[in-house]
Amino acid sequence: MNVLLTGGTGLIGRALAADLAAAGHQVAVLTRNPERAAARLPRGVVPHPWDGRTLDGWAHLVAQADAVINLAGEPSRRCGRPSRPRAPRCGRGWKGRPWTPRRAA
């Protein structure tokens, strides 16, 4: 089976890609950085460039796929000081309003 996977370089995606490849499936992973992904992905899993905003360069992969699995999420980077909890969307709260930590009562 041809499987197209987004989020294949994340914790769950790498494990799923490895399992699918080990089971004999052809796995393609859409990624923002194919060169870096190639070093992290298991043997037999092929990375393809993806910006997530357009169909340029990867629409044909969807047409060829027997299954598409979307595990893509927001990058997990911390914003602000290490002691501050991570803010949604790195500094933006609900509906784009600036995020400010609340003090415990």
- Are 57 and 18 in a shared domain? yes
Find out whether 86 and 93 touch, Cβ atoms under 8 Å.
Answer: no
- Are 12 and 55 in a shared domain? yes
DSSP class of residue 2?
A: E
**CATH number, position 39:** 3.40.50.720
- Are 63 and 15 in a shared domain? yes
- Are 86 and 66 in a shared domain? no
Residue type, 83: S
Instruction: Give the pLDDT of the chain (105 residues) as one tens digit per residue.
Output: 999 999 999 889 999 999 999 999 999 999 989 999 999 999 999 999 988 778 888 889 999 999 999 998 765 555 444 555 554 445 455 455 555 555 555
The pair of structure tokens assigned to 12 is 């769950």
Distance (Å, whole) CA 18 – CA 13 = 8
Q: What pairing do the DSSP bridges indicate for beta strands 2-6 and 26-31?
A: parallel
pLDDT at 87: 47
Find out whether 7 and 71 touch, Cβ atoms under 8 Å.
Answer: yes
- Are 64 and 86 in a shared domain? no
pLDDT at 39: 92
Quote the domain boundaries for residue 80.
Answer: 76-105
- Are 25 and 60 in a shared domain? yes
